[in-house]
Chains A and B, each alone.
Chain A
Protein backbone atom coordinates (compact mmCIF):
# COMPACT_ATOMS: atom_id res chain seq x y z
CA UNK A 1 0.00 0.00 0.00
CA UNK A 2 2.13 2.89 -1.19
CA UNK A 3 0.41 6.21 -1.44
CA UNK A 4 3.23 8.66 -1.42
CA UNK A 5 4.91 10.43 -4.26
CA UNK A 6 7.18 12.56 -2.07
CA UNK A 7 10.88 11.69 -2.11
CA UNK A 8 11.67 10.10 1.21
CA UNK A 9 9.31 9.22 4.03
CA UNK A 10 10.53 10.18 7.51
CA UNK A 11 9.51 6.80 8.85
CA UNK A 12 8.27 3.66 7.17
CA UNK A 13 7.39 0.09 7.91
CA UNK A 14 8.18 -2.83 5.67
CA UNK A 15 5.98 -5.92 5.99
CA UNK A 16 5.73 -5.22 9.71
CA UNK A 17 3.97 -8.00 11.58
CA UNK A 18 3.32 -8.55 15.26
CA UNK A 19 2.21 -11.81 16.83
CA UNK A 20 1.90 -11.76 20.60
CA UNK A 21 2.91 -14.73 22.70
CA UNK A 22 -0.09 -17.02 22.68
CA UNK A 23 -0.47 -16.61 18.94
CA UNK A 24 -2.68 -13.54 18.82
CA UNK A 25 -1.96 -11.68 15.61
CA UNK A 26 -1.94 -7.96 16.39
CA UNK A 27 -0.68 -6.75 13.04
CA UNK A 28 -0.51 -8.48 9.68
CA UNK A 29 2.44 -7.68 7.36
CA UNK A 30 1.95 -3.94 6.96
CA UNK A 31 3.94 -1.49 4.86
CA UNK A 32 3.28 2.20 5.40
CA UNK A 33 5.25 5.36 4.64
CA UNK A 34 4.85 8.30 7.00
CA UNK A 35 5.52 11.65 5.37
CA UNK A 36 7.45 14.47 6.95
CA UNK A 37 5.22 17.02 8.72
CA UNK A 38 2.02 15.03 8.25
CA UNK A 39 -0.56 14.60 11.01
CA UNK A 40 -1.62 10.99 10.56
CA UNK A 41 -4.46 9.45 12.54
CA UNK A 42 -4.66 5.70 13.03
CA UNK A 43 -8.37 5.01 13.30
CA UNK A 44 -10.02 1.85 14.49
CA UNK A 45 -11.79 0.05 17.28
CA UNK A 46 -9.87 -1.08 20.31
CA UNK A 47 -8.12 -4.31 19.45
CA UNK A 48 -7.85 -3.41 15.78
CA UNK A 49 -4.06 -3.11 15.97
CA UNK A 50 -3.58 0.68 16.28
CA UNK A 51 -1.64 0.51 19.51
CA UNK A 52 0.51 -2.38 18.36
CA UNK A 53 1.39 -0.58 15.15
CA UNK A 54 2.14 2.68 16.97
CA UNK A 55 4.23 1.03 19.66
CA UNK A 56 6.22 -0.98 17.18
CA UNK A 57 7.33 2.27 15.51
CA UNK A 58 9.75 2.81 18.40
CA UNK A 59 9.98 -0.89 19.26
CA UNK A 60 8.19 -0.58 22.60
CA UNK A 61 6.47 -3.58 21.10
CA UNK A 62 9.02 -5.73 19.29
CA UNK A 63 7.76 -6.68 15.82
CA UNK A 64 7.92 -10.38 15.09
CA UNK A 65 8.48 -9.86 11.36
CA UNK A 66 9.37 -7.06 8.97
CA UNK A 67 11.13 -3.85 9.88
CA UNK A 68 10.81 -0.19 10.80
CA UNK A 69 13.00 2.22 8.87
CA UNK A 70 13.86 5.71 10.02
CA UNK A 71 15.01 8.22 7.40
CA UNK A 72 17.58 9.59 9.81
CA UNK A 73 18.96 6.44 11.43
CA UNK A 74 18.12 3.56 9.08
CA UNK A 75 16.64 0.22 10.03
CA UNK A 76 16.00 -0.12 13.75
CA UNK A 77 18.08 -3.21 14.30
CA UNK A 78 20.46 -2.43 17.14
CA UNK A 79 20.36 -0.79 20.56
CA UNK A 80 22.42 2.23 19.54
CA UNK A 81 20.20 3.12 16.59
CA UNK A 82 17.10 2.38 18.61
CA UNK A 83 18.17 4.70 21.42
CA UNK A 84 18.92 7.54 19.00
CA UNK A 85 15.63 6.94 17.20
CA UNK A 86 13.68 6.97 20.47
CA UNK A 87 15.37 10.20 21.50
CA UNK A 88 14.00 11.92 18.39
CA UNK A 89 10.65 10.08 18.46
CA UNK A 90 8.69 11.25 21.46
CA UNK A 91 5.66 9.40 22.77
CA UNK A 92 2.45 10.59 24.36
CA UNK A 93 0.42 7.93 26.19
CA UNK A 94 -3.26 7.41 26.95
CA UNK A 95 -2.60 7.34 30.69
CA UNK A 96 0.12 10.02 30.40
CA UNK A 97 2.57 7.66 32.21
CA UNK A 98 3.99 10.32 34.52
CA UNK A 99 5.65 9.78 37.89
CA UNK A 100 2.85 11.03 40.10
CA UNK A 101 5.00 11.98 43.08
CA UNK A 102 7.23 14.15 40.93
CA UNK A 103 6.58 17.75 39.97
CA UNK A 104 5.54 18.68 36.44
CA UNK A 105 9.03 20.06 35.83
CA UNK A 106 10.76 16.86 37.01
CA UNK A 107 8.51 14.84 34.72
CA UNK A 108 9.23 17.05 31.73
CA UNK A 109 12.96 16.71 32.41
CA UNK A 110 12.58 12.94 31.94
CA UNK A 111 12.28 13.78 28.24
CA UNK A 112 15.94 14.86 28.33
CA UNK A 113 17.29 11.55 29.67
CA UNK A 114 18.15 10.20 26.24
CA UNK A 115 20.54 13.13 25.70
CA UNK A 116 22.75 12.32 28.68
CA UNK A 117 24.94 9.48 29.84
CA UNK A 118 23.91 7.62 32.99
CA UNK A 119 26.64 9.29 35.07
CA UNK A 120 25.78 12.75 33.79
CA UNK A 121 22.10 12.12 34.59
CA UNK A 122 22.95 11.53 38.27
CA UNK A 123 23.93 15.20 38.55
CA UNK A 124 21.42 18.05 38.42
CA UNK A 125 20.34 18.72 34.80
CA UNK A 126 22.14 21.47 32.86
CA UNK A 127 20.59 24.93 32.94
CA UNK A 128 19.71 24.74 29.25
CA UNK A 129 17.61 21.61 29.96
CA UNK A 130 15.78 23.40 32.78
CA UNK A 131 15.06 26.38 30.55
CA UNK A 132 13.88 24.13 27.73
CA UNK A 133 11.63 22.17 30.11
CA UNK A 134 10.08 25.37 31.44
CA UNK A 135 9.58 26.61 27.89
CA UNK A 136 7.80 23.36 26.97
CA UNK A 137 5.52 23.67 30.00
CA UNK A 138 4.83 27.24 28.97
CA UNK A 139 3.81 26.13 25.49
CA UNK A 140 1.15 23.81 26.89
CA UNK A 141 0.03 26.58 29.24
CA UNK A 142 1.31 25.06 32.46
CA UNK A 143 4.29 27.28 33.30
CA UNK A 144 2.67 28.19 36.62
CA UNK A 145 2.32 24.50 37.57
CA UNK A 146 6.01 23.66 37.07
CA UNK A 147 6.62 22.97 40.76
CA UNK A 148 3.29 21.26 41.49
CA UNK A 149 3.28 17.49 41.98
CA UNK A 150 1.43 15.96 39.03
CA UNK A 151 -0.94 14.01 41.28
CA UNK A 152 -2.39 17.42 42.17
CA UNK A 153 -3.23 18.16 38.53
CA UNK A 154 -6.38 17.35 36.58
CA UNK A 155 -6.46 14.66 33.88
CA UNK A 156 -6.21 17.20 31.08
CA UNK A 157 -3.33 19.00 32.79
CA UNK A 158 -1.51 15.70 33.32
CA UNK A 159 -1.82 14.93 29.63
CA UNK A 160 -0.43 18.39 28.81
CA UNK A 161 2.56 17.61 31.05
CA UNK A 162 2.91 14.42 29.00
CA UNK A 163 2.96 16.51 25.81
CA UNK A 164 5.48 18.92 27.34
CA UNK A 165 7.69 15.94 28.22
CA UNK A 166 7.48 14.81 24.60
CA UNK A 167 8.37 18.32 23.36
CA UNK A 168 11.37 18.43 25.70
CA UNK A 169 12.89 15.67 23.59
CA UNK A 170 12.94 18.16 20.68
CA UNK A 171 11.53 15.37 18.56
CA UNK A 172 11.09 15.13 14.83
CA UNK A 173 8.25 12.63 15.32
CA UNK A 174 5.56 12.38 17.99
CA UNK A 175 3.69 9.11 18.50
CA UNK A 176 0.49 9.58 20.49
CA UNK A 177 -1.30 6.46 21.66
CA UNK A 178 -4.98 7.28 22.29
CA UNK A 179 -3.95 10.58 23.90
CA UNK A 180 -7.51 11.69 24.66
CA UNK A 181 -9.24 8.38 25.36
CA UNK A 182 -9.51 9.05 29.09
CA UNK A 183 -10.51 12.71 28.83
CA UNK A 184 -13.86 14.45 28.54
CA UNK A 185 -14.89 15.79 25.09
CA UNK A 186 -14.09 19.46 25.62
CA UNK A 187 -10.67 18.70 27.13
CA UNK A 188 -10.02 16.21 24.33
CA UNK A 189 -10.61 18.86 21.68
CA UNK A 190 -8.33 21.34 23.42
CA UNK A 191 -5.55 18.77 23.79
CA UNK A 192 -5.77 17.62 20.18
CA UNK A 193 -5.81 21.12 18.72
CA UNK A 194 -2.90 22.10 20.95
CA UNK A 195 -0.96 19.04 19.81
CA UNK A 196 -1.76 19.70 16.17
CA UNK A 197 -0.83 23.38 16.42
CA UNK A 198 2.50 22.73 18.12
CA UNK A 199 3.40 20.01 15.62
CA UNK A 200 2.58 22.34 12.75
CA UNK A 201 4.67 25.15 14.25
CA UNK A 202 7.70 22.94 14.81
CA UNK A 203 7.31 20.80 11.70
CA UNK A 204 6.93 17.67 13.84
CA UNK A 205 5.52 14.61 12.11
CA UNK A 206 2.76 13.13 14.24
CA UNK A 207 1.12 9.76 14.29
CA UNK A 208 -1.88 9.64 16.58
CA UNK A 209 -4.14 6.70 17.31
CA UNK A 210 -7.79 7.54 17.99
CA UNK A 211 -11.03 5.66 18.07
CA UNK A 212 -13.30 8.69 17.63
CA UNK A 213 -14.16 9.30 13.99
CA UNK A 214 -15.18 12.89 14.63
CA UNK A 215 -11.73 13.91 15.92
CA UNK A 216 -9.97 11.97 13.20
CA UNK A 217 -11.94 13.85 10.51
CA UNK A 218 -11.29 17.19 12.12
CA UNK A 219 -7.59 16.97 12.85
CA UNK A 220 -6.03 14.46 10.48
CA UNK A 221 -4.13 15.21 7.27
CA UNK A 222 -4.31 11.51 6.56
CA UNK A 223 -6.33 8.72 8.07
CA UNK A 224 -5.17 5.12 8.24
CA UNK A 225 -8.06 2.85 9.15
CA UNK A 226 -7.29 -0.43 10.85
CA UNK A 227 -9.54 -3.41 11.42
CA UNK A 228 -8.64 -6.92 12.47
CA UNK A 229 -4.91 -6.37 12.42
CA UNK A 230 -4.68 -4.83 8.98
CA UNK A 231 -4.95 -1.54 7.14
CA UNK A 232 -8.36 -1.24 5.50
CA UNK A 233 -8.22 2.45 4.56
CA UNK A 234 -5.45 4.92 3.88
CA UNK A 235 -6.28 8.33 2.45
CA UNK A 236 -7.20 11.93 3.23
CA UNK A 237 -10.14 12.34 5.65
CA UNK A 238 -12.51 13.74 2.99
CA UNK A 239 -12.27 10.46 1.09
CA UNK A 240 -13.63 8.54 3.99
CA UNK A 241 -17.19 7.53 3.05
CA UNK A 242 -19.82 5.30 4.61
CA UNK A 243 -18.63 2.21 2.81
CA UNK A 244 -15.12 2.59 4.15
CA UNK A 245 -16.38 3.44 7.60
CA UNK A 246 -18.21 0.15 7.60
CA UNK A 247 -14.94 -1.58 6.87
CA UNK A 248 -13.26 0.10 9.80
CA UNK A 249 -16.05 -0.11 12.33
CA UNK A 250 -18.39 -2.92 11.48
CA UNK A 251 -16.09 -5.68 10.50
CA UNK A 252 -14.76 -6.22 13.94
CA UNK A 253 -17.95 -5.10 15.66
CA UNK A 254 -19.63 -8.46 15.10
CA UNK A 255 -17.01 -10.77 16.57
CA UNK A 256 -16.71 -8.36 19.50
CA UNK A 257 -20.35 -8.77 20.33
CA UNK A 258 -20.05 -12.52 20.09
CA UNK A 259 -17.09 -12.54 22.48
CA UNK A 260 -19.07 -10.61 25.00
CA UNK A 261 -21.96 -13.03 24.90
CA UNK A 262 -19.82 -16.12 25.42
CA UNK A 263 -17.95 -14.41 28.25
CA UNK A 264 -21.22 -13.60 29.95
CA UNK A 265 -22.61 -17.09 29.57
CA UNK A 266 -19.45 -18.54 31.03
CA UNK A 267 -19.53 -16.45 34.17
CA UNK A 268 -23.20 -17.25 34.61
CA UNK A 269 -22.80 -19.20 37.84
CA UNK A 270 -21.20 -16.41 39.82
CA UNK A 271 -23.82 -14.14 41.31
CA UNK A 272 -21.45 -11.20 41.74
CA UNK A 273 -21.95 -10.15 38.15
CA UNK A 274 -25.66 -9.85 38.54
CA UNK A 275 -26.10 -6.11 37.83
CA UNK A 276 -23.92 -6.15 34.71
CA UNK A 277 -25.69 -9.17 33.42
CA UNK A 278 -29.13 -7.70 33.77
CA UNK A 279 -27.92 -4.76 31.74
CA UNK A 280 -26.58 -6.98 28.98
CA UNK A 281 -29.77 -8.94 28.99
CA UNK A 282 -31.85 -5.82 28.48
CA UNK A 283 -29.60 -4.66 25.69
CA UNK A 284 -29.95 -7.96 23.86
CA UNK A 285 -33.67 -8.22 24.54
CA UNK A 286 -34.15 -4.94 22.71
Chain B
Protein backbone atom coordinates (compact mmCIF):
# COMPACT_ATOMS: atom_id res chain seq x y z
CA UNK B 1 0.00 0.00 0.00
CA UNK B 2 2.85 2.37 -0.56
CA UNK B 3 2.04 3.18 -4.18
CA UNK B 4 1.51 6.82 -3.30
CA UNK B 5 4.73 7.37 -1.46
CA UNK B 6 6.33 10.52 -2.83
CA UNK B 7 10.06 10.71 -2.59
CA UNK B 8 12.26 13.76 -2.46
CA UNK B 9 13.54 13.00 -5.97
CA UNK B 10 10.01 13.12 -7.32
CA UNK B 11 9.47 16.57 -5.85
CA UNK B 12 12.80 17.88 -7.15
CA UNK B 13 12.19 16.41 -10.60
CA UNK B 14 8.78 17.93 -10.80
CA UNK B 15 10.16 21.28 -9.66
CA UNK B 16 12.87 21.38 -12.29
CA UNK B 17 10.40 20.31 -14.99
CA UNK B 18 8.17 23.19 -14.02
CA UNK B 19 11.10 25.62 -14.18
CA UNK B 20 12.11 24.45 -17.66
CA UNK B 21 8.56 24.86 -18.92
CA UNK B 22 8.37 28.43 -17.64
CA UNK B 23 11.67 29.35 -19.29
CA UNK B 24 10.47 27.95 -22.57
CA UNK B 25 7.29 30.03 -22.33
CA UNK B 26 9.21 33.27 -21.74
CA UNK B 27 11.62 32.55 -24.62
CA UNK B 28 8.74 31.81 -27.01
CA UNK B 29 7.01 35.06 -26.07
CA UNK B 30 10.25 37.02 -26.60
CA UNK B 31 10.75 35.51 -30.07
CA UNK B 32 7.20 36.43 -31.11
CA UNK B 33 7.66 40.04 -29.92
CA UNK B 34 10.98 40.43 -31.76
CA UNK B 35 9.58 38.97 -34.98
CA UNK B 36 6.61 41.33 -34.89
CA UNK B 37 8.85 44.34 -34.24
CA UNK B 38 11.15 43.39 -37.10
CA UNK B 39 8.19 42.93 -39.44
CA UNK B 40 6.89 46.48 -38.85
CA UNK B 41 10.37 48.06 -39.23
CA UNK B 42 10.78 49.03 -35.58
CA UNK B 43 14.19 47.35 -35.71
CA UNK B 44 15.20 49.37 -38.81
CA UNK B 45 17.16 52.13 -37.05
CA UNK B 46 18.06 53.91 -40.29
CA UNK B 47 14.46 54.97 -40.99
CA UNK B 48 14.02 55.91 -37.35
CA UNK B 49 17.16 58.07 -37.39
CA UNK B 50 16.01 59.89 -40.54
CA UNK B 51 12.61 60.64 -39.03
CA UNK B 52 14.00 62.12 -35.84
CA UNK B 53 14.91 65.61 -37.20
CA UNK B 54 11.42 65.98 -38.77
CA UNK B 55 9.82 65.21 -35.42
CA UNK B 56 12.16 67.75 -33.84
CA UNK B 57 11.13 70.45 -36.34
CA UNK B 58 7.42 69.74 -35.79
CA UNK B 59 7.88 69.91 -32.03
CA UNK B 60 9.75 73.19 -32.41
CA UNK B 61 6.99 74.71 -34.54
CA UNK B 62 4.40 73.76 -31.94
CA UNK B 63 5.94 75.98 -29.29
CA UNK B 64 4.69 77.97 -27.56
CA UNK B 65 1.04 76.76 -27.57
CA UNK B 66 -1.32 79.40 -28.93
CA UNK B 67 -4.48 79.83 -26.83
CA UNK B 68 -5.87 82.94 -28.59
CA UNK B 69 -8.95 81.05 -29.89
CA UNK B 70 -9.66 79.46 -26.50
CA UNK B 71 -13.17 80.93 -26.15
CA UNK B 72 -14.16 79.30 -29.47
CA UNK B 73 -13.36 75.84 -28.14
CA UNK B 74 -15.77 75.75 -25.20
CA UNK B 75 -18.82 74.98 -27.30
CA UNK B 76 -17.14 72.12 -29.28
CA UNK B 77 -15.79 70.73 -26.01
CA UNK B 78 -19.29 70.74 -24.55
CA UNK B 79 -20.45 68.96 -27.74
CA UNK B 80 -17.79 66.32 -27.21
CA UNK B 81 -18.81 65.80 -23.59
CA UNK B 82 -22.51 65.58 -24.49
CA UNK B 83 -21.75 63.16 -27.33
CA UNK B 84 -19.86 60.83 -25.03
CA UNK B 85 -22.61 60.84 -22.38
CA UNK B 86 -25.49 60.36 -24.84
CA UNK B 87 -23.59 57.73 -26.84
CA UNK B 88 -22.77 55.73 -23.71
CA UNK B 89 -26.33 55.96 -22.39
CA UNK B 90 -27.81 54.68 -25.65
CA UNK B 91 -25.23 51.88 -25.73
CA UNK B 92 -26.09 50.78 -22.18
CA UNK B 93 -29.84 50.75 -22.87
CA UNK B 94 -29.42 48.43 -25.84
CA UNK B 95 -26.64 46.39 -24.25
CA UNK B 96 -28.74 45.09 -21.34
CA UNK B 97 -31.23 43.06 -23.44
CA UNK B 98 -28.44 42.07 -25.85
CA UNK B 99 -26.37 40.80 -22.93
CA UNK B 100 -29.16 38.55 -21.62
CA UNK B 101 -29.47 37.06 -25.11
CA UNK B 102 -25.70 36.68 -25.43
CA UNK B 103 -25.07 35.09 -22.02
CA UNK B 104 -24.94 31.31 -22.07
CA UNK B 105 -26.97 30.93 -18.87
CA UNK B 106 -29.85 33.29 -19.76
CA UNK B 107 -30.13 33.01 -23.54
CA UNK B 108 -33.46 31.42 -24.50
CA UNK B 109 -31.91 29.26 -27.24
CA UNK B 110 -28.53 28.19 -28.58
CA UNK B 111 -29.22 29.76 -31.97
CA UNK B 112 -30.19 33.10 -30.41
CA UNK B 113 -27.06 32.95 -28.26
CA UNK B 114 -24.84 32.47 -31.32
CA UNK B 115 -26.65 35.22 -33.27
CA UNK B 116 -26.35 37.69 -30.41
CA UNK B 117 -22.63 36.92 -30.11
CA UNK B 118 -22.15 37.44 -33.86
CA UNK B 119 -23.97 40.80 -33.73
CA UNK B 120 -21.81 41.95 -30.81
CA UNK B 121 -18.61 40.84 -32.55
CA UNK B 122 -19.65 42.62 -35.75
CA UNK B 123 -20.38 45.86 -33.91
CA UNK B 124 -17.06 45.65 -32.11
CA UNK B 125 -15.05 44.99 -35.23
CA UNK B 126 -16.20 48.10 -37.14
CA UNK B 127 -14.14 51.02 -35.73
CA UNK B 128 -16.17 53.98 -34.46
CA UNK B 129 -14.41 56.30 -36.91
CA UNK B 130 -15.68 54.23 -39.85
CA UNK B 131 -19.16 54.23 -38.32
CA UNK B 132 -18.80 58.01 -37.94
CA UNK B 133 -18.05 58.39 -41.67
CA UNK B 134 -21.08 56.25 -42.54
CA UNK B 135 -23.42 58.17 -40.22
CA UNK B 136 -22.13 61.54 -41.47
CA UNK B 137 -23.03 60.37 -44.94
CA UNK B 138 -26.45 59.26 -43.69
CA UNK B 139 -27.58 62.11 -41.40
CA UNK B 140 -25.15 64.93 -42.25
CA UNK B 141 -22.52 66.82 -40.25
CA UNK B 142 -22.86 67.54 -36.52
CA UNK B 143 -22.94 65.83 -33.15
CA UNK B 144 -25.77 63.36 -34.01
CA UNK B 145 -23.74 61.08 -36.33
CA UNK B 146 -21.00 61.06 -33.67
CA UNK B 147 -23.44 59.98 -30.98
CA UNK B 148 -24.85 57.20 -33.15
CA UNK B 149 -21.40 55.94 -34.11
CA UNK B 150 -20.19 55.89 -30.50
CA UNK B 151 -23.38 54.18 -29.33
CA UNK B 152 -23.39 51.47 -31.96
CA UNK B 153 -19.72 50.63 -31.59
CA UNK B 154 -19.98 50.66 -27.78
CA UNK B 155 -22.81 48.10 -27.76
CA UNK B 156 -20.34 45.55 -29.12
CA UNK B 157 -18.02 45.88 -26.15
CA UNK B 158 -20.49 46.85 -23.39
CA UNK B 159 -22.88 44.06 -24.41
CA UNK B 160 -20.07 41.51 -24.35
CA UNK B 161 -18.84 42.59 -20.92
CA UNK B 162 -22.39 42.65 -19.54
CA UNK B 163 -22.95 39.12 -20.91
CA UNK B 164 -19.76 37.93 -19.25
CA UNK B 165 -20.87 39.44 -15.93
CA UNK B 166 -24.19 37.60 -16.27
CA UNK B 167 -22.40 34.33 -16.99
CA UNK B 168 -20.36 34.67 -13.79
CA UNK B 169 -23.35 35.30 -11.60
CA UNK B 170 -23.73 33.22 -8.41
CA UNK B 171 -26.26 30.52 -9.25
CA UNK B 172 -27.40 30.04 -5.67
CA UNK B 173 -29.78 33.03 -5.34
CA UNK B 174 -31.08 32.23 -8.82
CA UNK B 175 -32.01 28.74 -7.65
CA UNK B 176 -33.55 30.19 -4.51
CA UNK B 177 -35.75 32.54 -6.55
CA UNK B 178 -36.87 29.68 -8.78
CA UNK B 179 -37.64 27.58 -5.73
CA UNK B 180 -39.84 30.39 -4.39
CA UNK B 181 -41.97 30.23 -7.52
CA UNK B 182 -40.50 33.19 -9.41
CA UNK B 183 -41.13 33.28 -13.16
CA UNK B 184 -38.15 33.30 -15.56
CA UNK B 185 -38.46 37.07 -16.08
CA UNK B 186 -38.63 37.63 -12.32
CA UNK B 187 -35.49 35.54 -11.92
CA UNK B 188 -33.66 37.78 -14.43
CA UNK B 189 -34.80 40.96 -12.78
CA UNK B 190 -34.73 40.04 -9.09
CA UNK B 191 -31.99 37.42 -8.80
CA UNK B 192 -29.52 38.14 -11.62
CA UNK B 193 -29.69 41.90 -12.18
CA UNK B 194 -28.97 42.84 -8.53
CA UNK B 195 -25.85 40.68 -8.62
CA UNK B 196 -24.41 42.19 -11.81
CA UNK B 197 -25.33 45.82 -11.07
CA UNK B 198 -21.85 46.78 -9.75
CA UNK B 199 -20.12 45.30 -12.82
CA UNK B 200 -22.65 46.92 -15.16
CA UNK B 201 -22.00 50.32 -13.56
CA UNK B 202 -18.27 49.76 -13.70
CA UNK B 203 -18.29 48.85 -17.40
CA UNK B 204 -20.66 51.71 -18.29
CA UNK B 205 -18.54 54.34 -16.54
CA UNK B 206 -15.33 52.97 -17.98
CA UNK B 207 -16.94 53.01 -21.41
CA UNK B 208 -17.99 56.66 -20.90
CA UNK B 209 -14.39 57.51 -20.12
CA UNK B 210 -13.30 55.70 -23.29
CA UNK B 211 -16.07 57.31 -25.36
CA UNK B 212 -14.98 60.78 -24.25
CA UNK B 213 -11.51 60.10 -25.62
CA UNK B 214 -12.98 58.54 -28.77
CA UNK B 215 -15.36 61.45 -29.34
CA UNK B 216 -12.48 63.95 -29.41
CA UNK B 217 -11.44 62.45 -32.75
CA UNK B 218 -15.00 62.05 -34.06
CA UNK B 219 -14.82 65.67 -35.25
CA UNK B 220 -12.12 64.68 -37.71
CA UNK B 221 -14.69 62.98 -39.93
CA UNK B 222 -17.17 65.81 -39.47
CA UNK B 223 -19.09 64.24 -36.62
CA UNK B 224 -18.92 67.27 -34.31
CA UNK B 225 -16.93 68.19 -31.24
CA UNK B 226 -13.42 69.42 -30.50
CA UNK B 227 -11.89 67.11 -33.11
CA UNK B 228 -13.35 69.35 -35.80
CA UNK B 229 -11.31 72.31 -34.50
CA UNK B 230 -8.23 70.13 -34.16
CA UNK B 231 -8.54 68.98 -37.78
CA UNK B 232 -9.01 72.59 -38.95
CA UNK B 233 -5.81 73.77 -37.28
CA UNK B 234 -3.89 70.76 -38.56
CA UNK B 235 -4.99 71.46 -42.13
CA UNK B 236 -3.69 75.03 -42.07
CA UNK B 237 -0.56 73.81 -40.24
CA UNK B 238 -1.14 76.00 -37.18
CA UNK B 239 0.89 73.66 -34.98
CA UNK B 240 0.95 76.08 -32.04
CA UNK B 241 -2.85 75.97 -32.00
CA UNK B 242 -2.83 72.21 -32.45
CA UNK B 243 -0.70 71.87 -29.33
CA UNK B 244 -3.02 74.19 -27.43
CA UNK B 245 -6.07 72.12 -28.39
CA UNK B 246 -4.27 68.90 -27.48
CA UNK B 247 -3.45 70.36 -24.06
CA UNK B 248 -7.07 71.36 -23.52
CA UNK B 249 -8.15 67.83 -24.51
CA UNK B 250 -5.55 66.37 -22.13
CA UNK B 251 -6.96 68.47 -19.30
CA UNK B 252 -10.51 67.34 -20.05
CA UNK B 253 -9.51 63.67 -20.35
CA UNK B 254 -7.74 63.90 -17.01
CA UNK B 255 -10.82 65.44 -15.40
CA UNK B 256 -13.13 62.83 -16.92
CA UNK B 257 -10.83 60.00 -15.82
CA UNK B 258 -10.73 61.32 -12.28
CA UNK B 259 -14.51 61.66 -12.16
CA UNK B 260 -14.95 58.18 -13.63
CA UNK B 261 -12.56 56.69 -11.09
CA UNK B 262 -14.50 58.38 -8.30
CA UNK B 263 -17.85 57.11 -9.61
CA UNK B 264 -16.59 53.56 -10.10
CA UNK B 265 -15.31 53.44 -6.55
CA UNK B 266 -18.74 54.53 -5.35
CA UNK B 267 -20.47 51.63 -7.12
CA UNK B 268 -18.19 48.91 -5.72
Q: Using CB atoms and an 8 Å cutoff, list the residues of chain A in contact with chain B.
A: 58, 60, 83-87, 89-91, 93, 95-102, 110-111, 113-116, 118, 121-122, 162, 165, 169, 264-265, 268-271, 274, 277, 280-281, 284
B-side interface size class: 20 to 34
Q: How far is the CA of A271 from the CA of B176 in the complex (A)?
A: 40
Beyond the given pairs A102-B194, A271-B14, A281-B4, 17 more chain A to chain B contacts, judged by CB atoms under 8 angstroms and listed by A's residue number, are: A60-B175, A83-B181, A90-B180, A95-B172, A96-B172, A97-B172, A97-B176, A101-B198, A110-B176, A110-B177, A113-B181, A113-B182, A118-B183, A118-B189, A265-B4, A268-B4, A284-B1
Chain B 182-215, CB-CB to A under 8 Å as 1, else 0, gives 1101100111001101100000000000000000
A265-B4, A271-B15 known; A121 and B189 CB under 8 Å? yes
Give the distance to chain B from A131, nearest Cβ to Cβ, in Å: 18
Q: A86-B179, A114-B180 are in contact. Are A97 and B190 (CB under 8 A)?
A: no
Closest approach, in angstroms, between the C-beta of A159 and any C-beta of chain B?
13
Bound complex: CA of A58 vs CA of B177, how far in Å? 12
Query: Are A60 and B179 in contact, with the CB atoms below 8 A?
Result: yes
Is B194 a contact partner of A268 (Cβ separation < 8 A)? no
Interface centre among A96, A110, A121, A268 (most CB of B within 10 A): A110
B11 within 8 Å of A by Cβ?
Answer: yes
Complex contacts, B4 vs chain A, CB 8 Å: 264-265, 268, 277, 280-281
B residues contacting A by CB (< 8 A) are 1, 3-6, 10-11, 14-15, 170, 172-173, 175-183, 185-186, 189-191, 194-195, 197-198
Q: Are A114 and B10 in contact, with the CB atoms below 8 A?
A: no
Q: Once the chains bind, are A91 and B176 in contact (CB under 8 Å)? A: yes
Question: Which residue of chain B has the shortest Cβ distance to A266 in the bound complex?
Answer: B4
Contact B181 A60 (CB under 8 A): no
B173 and A99 form a contact (CB under 8 A): yes
A165 to B179 Cα, complex, angstroms: 11
B201 to chain A, nearest CB (A): 12
Give the distance to chain B from A56, nearest Cβ to Cβ, in Å: 12
How close is A169's CB to chain B, nearest CB, in angstroms?
6
- Report the minimal beta-carbon distance from B1 to chain A, rounded to whole angstroms: 6
B residues in contact with A274, CB < 8 Å: 6, 11
Give the chain B neighbours of A111 by CB distance below 8 A.
180
Q: A99-B173, A99-B194, A101-B198 are in contact. Are A122 and B189 (CB under 8 A)?
A: yes
Interfacial chain B residues near A284, Cβ < 8 Å:
1
The secondary-structure label for the interface of chain B is helix
Asked if A281 and B5 make an inter-chain contact with CB atoms under 8 angstroms apart, the answer reads yes
A269–B7 Cα distance when bound, in Å, is 10
A116 CA / B185 CA spacing, docked (Å): 12
Residues of B within 8 A of A280 (CB): 4
Q: Bound state CA distance, A280 and B176, in angstroms?
A: 37
12 contacts between A and B (CB under 8 A): A60-B175, A60-B178, A87-B181, A93-B175, A95-B172, A98-B172, A98-B173, A99-B195, A101-B198, A264-B4, A269-B14, A281-B4
> Smallest CB–CB gap between A218 and chain B, Å?
27
B198–A93 touching, CB < 8 Å = no
Q: Is the CB of A114 within 8 A of B182?
A: yes
Identify the closest chain A residue to B173 (Cβ).
A99
B185 to chain A, nearest CB (A): 4
**Which residues of A are found within 8 Å of B185, using beta-carbon distances?**
118
Candidate in A102, A113, A281 with the most chain B CB atoms within 10 angstroms: A113
> Once bound together, how far apart are the Cα atoms of A4 and B15, in whole Å?
63
Q: Is the CB of B176 within 8 A of A114?
A: no
> A86 to chain B: which residues have CB within 8 Å?
178-181
In the complex, chain A residues whose CB is within 8 Å of the CB of B172: 93, 95-98
* Nearest A residue to B185, CB-CB: A118
Contact of A268 among B3, B176, B180, B182 (CB under 8 A): B3
For residue B194, which residues in chain A have a CB less than 8 angstroms away from its CB? Answer: 99, 101-102
